[in-house]
């Protein structure tokens, strides 16, 4: 045992010596008066007001690229554009069918692909049906198979349509963006440098890539390098979106992953800014020391009703001009944390007990098990299963099924102690150093 402990200590020591702990800066409430961006002066942004960075012109050189399925145009796009359209019209919409909505053109990202990509490719069996369908379903498994083919053509088409943009922010319809923080974040970087920002996913033996649903950013410098590589495969430079950069996308899992491979071949690796770019919604975020002081740029899986709820909450923030952090977002979900909540799953997952002779015996036994684990913040019981968690999560309603009823609870006194302890460490919105760098 002493040898094992010594070995673990040495591994930890050497790792910290070589790589160090992940540091952070403080995200400035107001970017420098001499920004690195390609502008003669820093815009005067009235932070905290609706659409503030857009109204000040601070995001004029940012193109927002929205990727959606054809079935989402009628169902999800209207509410999204009603929010975003109040702020900006500098949006490019890409789908798998050309159409128009509310004055916005919806571009078919796959329309220009050369025939050999579609021929004898079962992933495209649904494509012709989508083009001729009178009514489109919101989501289909077949339609989703086309998604991974959109990423690379979107890059070329976006470059052709927005040749003067310095930044390209790629989003999906359920991605929330805090625009004040996004403008503060981008103001820290020179767009002429090749940048690829997002929430990193670390697949085994493959390049790290930015998760598409969390949103990711490419700079003008990155676009230029991508376009240069694309010319190696393009036969007709006047028609962007004709090729897939030499990739057999049929063999790939996801579009965001294959894009990362092409970026890597272009000499560009992702700079990971998780948890600022975040793949969770307010109800599923794991509030813990890693996600507390950090500034929020994006959230994912945010449904229309939650978008509306977040807007109302943000409008009533006590200090709206300050950068939004997870610490403050916690107050949005905090009213739902109770000692006992029936027909509810709080997504506890760190420890599991099953069986009548364990903490799975009853809700009371599950709560007692949590109280015995010093860092346990919440617990959930159903059937003969008890789950504990060291993080704080809200979760969602879970109706009874098959005679099993979910009952969740939170250690509210521990949560208050956690808040007091970690809030003292913040002293401003943290801007973590990139990982990977």
Q: Please, what are the averages of pLDDT over each run of 10 residues along the chain (437 residues)?
A: 36 36 84 60 84 94 92 84 86 91 90 90 86 65 80 94 96 95 95 97 90 96 94 77 90 90 95 97 96 97 91 92 96 96 96 93 95 96 95 94 89 96 91 92
pLDDT at 237: 62
Q: Give how far the C-alpha of residue 27 lies from the chain's centroid of Cα atoms, to the nearest Å.
A: 19
Give residue limits of the domains in the chain.
Answer: 25-272, 339-430
pLDDT at 22: 67
pLDDT at 326: 97
- Cis omega before residue 82 (within 30°)? no
Note the CATH number of domain 25-272.
Answer: 3.90.550
pLDDT at 376: 97
Using an 8 Å Cβ cutoff, are 392 and 378 in contact?
Answer: yes
pLDDT at 6: 36
pLDDT at 330: 97
Identify the CATH class of 339-430: alpha beta
pLDDT at 83: 85
pLDDT at 2: 41
Neighbours of 328 (CB within 10 A): 20
- CB-based contacts of 224-227 (< 8 A; 24+ apart in sequence): 224/194, 225/194, 225/266, 225/267, 225/268, 226/155, 226/159, 226/262, 226/263, 226/266, 226/268, 227/156, 227/159
pLDDT at 97: 87
pLDDT at 362: 93
Nearest Cα residue to 424 out of 277, 278, 289, 319: 289
């Amino acid at each position: 045992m002493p040898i094992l402990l010594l070995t673990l200590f040495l591994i930890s020591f050497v790792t910290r010596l070589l790589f160090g702990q992940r540091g952070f800066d403080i995200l400035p409430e107001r970017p420098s008066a001499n920004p690195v961006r390609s502008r003669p002066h820093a815009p005067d942004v009235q932070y905290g007001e609706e659409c503030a960075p857009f109204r000040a012109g601070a995001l004029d050189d940012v193109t927002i690229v929205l990727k959606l399925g054809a079935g989402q145009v009628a169902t999800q796009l209207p509410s999204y554009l009603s929010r975003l359209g109040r702020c900006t019209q500098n949006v490019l919409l890409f789908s798998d069918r050309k159409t128009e909505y509310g004055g916005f053109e919806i571009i078919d990202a796959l329309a220009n692909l050369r025939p050999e990509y579609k021929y004898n490719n079962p992933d495209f069996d649904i494509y012709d049906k989508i083009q001729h369908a009178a009514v489109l379903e919101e989501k289909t498994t077949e339609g989703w198979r086309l998604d991974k083919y959109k990423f690379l053509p979107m890059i070329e088409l976006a470059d052709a349509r927005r040749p003067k943009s310095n930044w390209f922010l790629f989003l999906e319809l359920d991605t929330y963006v805090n625009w004040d923080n996004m403008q503060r974040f981008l103001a820290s970087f020179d767009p002429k440098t090749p940048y690829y920002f997002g929430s990193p996913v670390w697949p085994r033996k493959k390049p790290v890539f930015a998760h598409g649903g969390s949103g990711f950013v490419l700079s003008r410098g990155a676009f230029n390098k991508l376009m240069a590589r694309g010319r190696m495969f393009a036969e007709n430079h006047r028609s962007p979106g004709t090729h897939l950069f030499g990739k057999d996308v049929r063999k790939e899992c996801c579009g965001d992953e294959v894009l990362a491979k092409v970026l890597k071949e272009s000499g560009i690796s992702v700079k990971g800014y998780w948890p600022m770019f975040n793949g969770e919604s307010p109800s599923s975020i794991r509030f813990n020391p890693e996600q507390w002081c950090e500034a929020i740029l994006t959230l994912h899986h945010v449904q229309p009703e939650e978008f509306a709820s977040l807007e109302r909450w943000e409008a009533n923030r006590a200090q709206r001009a300050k950068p939004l952090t997870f610490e403050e977002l916690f107050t949005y979900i905090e009213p739902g944390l109770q000692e006992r909540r029936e027909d509810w799953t709080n997504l506890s997952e760190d420890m599991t007990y099953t069986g009548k002779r364990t903490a799975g015996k009853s809700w009371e036994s599950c709560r007692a098990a949590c109280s015995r684990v010093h860092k346990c913040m919440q617990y959930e019981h159903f059937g003969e299963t008890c789950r504990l968690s060291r993080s704080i999560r809200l979760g969602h309603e879970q109706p009874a099924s098959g005679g099993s009823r979910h009952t969740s609870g939170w250690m509210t006194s521990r949560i208050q102690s956690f808040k007091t302890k970690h809030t003292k460490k913040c002293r401003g919105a943290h801007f973590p150093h990139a990982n990977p760098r």
